[in-house]
């Protein structure tokens, strides 16, 4: 699957995705993934940052509120439109551009840091986007990203629950099977049934890689791994939102911060 086909999938998802995420149906993002990402983000006050695969801009706005001057890029025009509308309604100084993370339209050493919230595993050539992120970073700049956990969110994954919906375990299969645009269809699980019935499921192209492949791609791009995190929901939140309790058994997400070397001399 090439970049134009990936873009077409995300453009088709974007309207419903934006509406449902803003309605609070993306519980994994709001209750776990974004708070954990922000808690592990170094201070960015006064820094210039780029958010790669920004979607409708919710996470880009979080970083801007932390004090960074942000640019967000996405491959789907509808996501960019919604992000720009949110910026116009409540300005934070964010610039949004339609662009491909595998071919960033910025000069070398343009940014102090880059972020990618749950976008890299949806790109056909992770080597290119990592190389592009390294190129546009200043020396000693960092990339912090989140992805589906390569070990526990494999192409075939199933949450095992008992008759009371209590999570018993996670079944993972096909860890070593690379997927090059294999389409997964799903909806936000927290969306009400009447809302799910009104819309087509999302069609998400997956480009699964093993953990060792990810690490080798990072090294090949010239980065050094600085920090890793596997977020899990706390017991109180799991009791309140049992839909998320699988993350107390095995992590669904992997967060990494990698750094470009400082200039020699």
- How do residues 145-192 score in pLDDT, each as one tens digit? 999 999 999 999 999 999 988 899 999 999 999 999 999 999 998 899
Query: Average of pLDDT values for 240-247?
Result: 91
Residue 29 included in any domain? yes
Query: Average of pLDDT values for 34-57?
Result: 98
Residue 105 has pLDDT above 80, yes or no: yes
Q: Over the chain, what is the mean pLDDT?
A: 96
Find, among 184, 227, 188, the residue nearest to 205 by Cα: 184
Q: What's the pLDDT score for residue 264?
A: 52
Residue 150 included in any domain? yes
Token look-up 């956990």 returns 149
Calpha distance 184→148 (Å, rounded): 13
* Contact present, 52 and 114 (Cβ < 8 Å): yes
Residue 140 included in any domain? yes
DSSP conformational letter for 205: E
Residue 27 has pLDDT above 90, yes or no: yes
Structural domain total, the chain: 1
Residue 133 included in any domain? yes
Residue 264 included in any domain? no
Residue-number span of the structural domain to which 88 is assigned: 3-259
What CATH number corresponds to the domain at position 182?
A: 3.40.50.150
Residue 39 has pLDDT above 60, yes or no: yes
H or E element, residue 3: helix 3-22
Residue 265 included in any domain? no
CA distances from 143 to 91, 127, 131 (A): 25, 14, 11
Residue 239 included in any domain? yes
Q: What's the pLDDT score for residue 104?
A: 98
* Contact present, 17 and 202 (Cβ < 8 Å): yes
Q: What's the pLDDT score for residue 265?
A: 45
Band of residue 38 on the pLDDT scale cut at 50, 70, 90: very high
Residue 127 included in any domain? yes
């Amino acid at each position: 699957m090439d970049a134009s086909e990936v873009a077409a999938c995300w453009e088709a998802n974007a309207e419903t995705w934006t509406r449902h995420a803003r309605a609070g149906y993306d519980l994994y993002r709001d209750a776990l993934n974004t708070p954990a990402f922000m808690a592990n983000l170094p201070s960015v006050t006064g820094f210039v940052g780029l958010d790669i695969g920004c979607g409708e801009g919710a996470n880009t706005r979080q970083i801007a509120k932390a004090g960074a001057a942000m640019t967000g890029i996405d491959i789907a025009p509808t996501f960019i439109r919604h992000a720009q509308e949110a910026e116009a309604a409540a300005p934070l100084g964010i610039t949004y551009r339609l662009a491909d993370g595998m071919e960033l339209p910025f000069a070398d050493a343009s940014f102090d840091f880059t972020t990618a919230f749950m976008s890299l595993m949806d790109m056909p050539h992770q080597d290119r986007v990592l190389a592009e992120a390294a190129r546009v970073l200043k020396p000693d700049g960092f990339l912090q990203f989140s992805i589906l956990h390569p070990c526990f969110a494999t192409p075939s994954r199933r949450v095992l629950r008992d008759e009371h919906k209590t999570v018993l375990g996670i079944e993972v299969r096909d860890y070593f099977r690379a997927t090059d645009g294999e389409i997964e269809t799903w909806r936000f699980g927290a969306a009400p049934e009447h809302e799910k019935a009104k819309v087509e499921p999302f069609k998400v192209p997956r480009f699964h890689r093993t953990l060792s492949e990810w690490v080798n791609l990072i090294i090949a791009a010239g980065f050094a791994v600085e920090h890793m995190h596997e977020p899990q929901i706390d017991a109180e939140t799991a009791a309140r939102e049992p839909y998320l309790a699988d993350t107390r058994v095995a992590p669904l997400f992997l967060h990494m911060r990698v750094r470009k070397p400082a200039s020699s001399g």
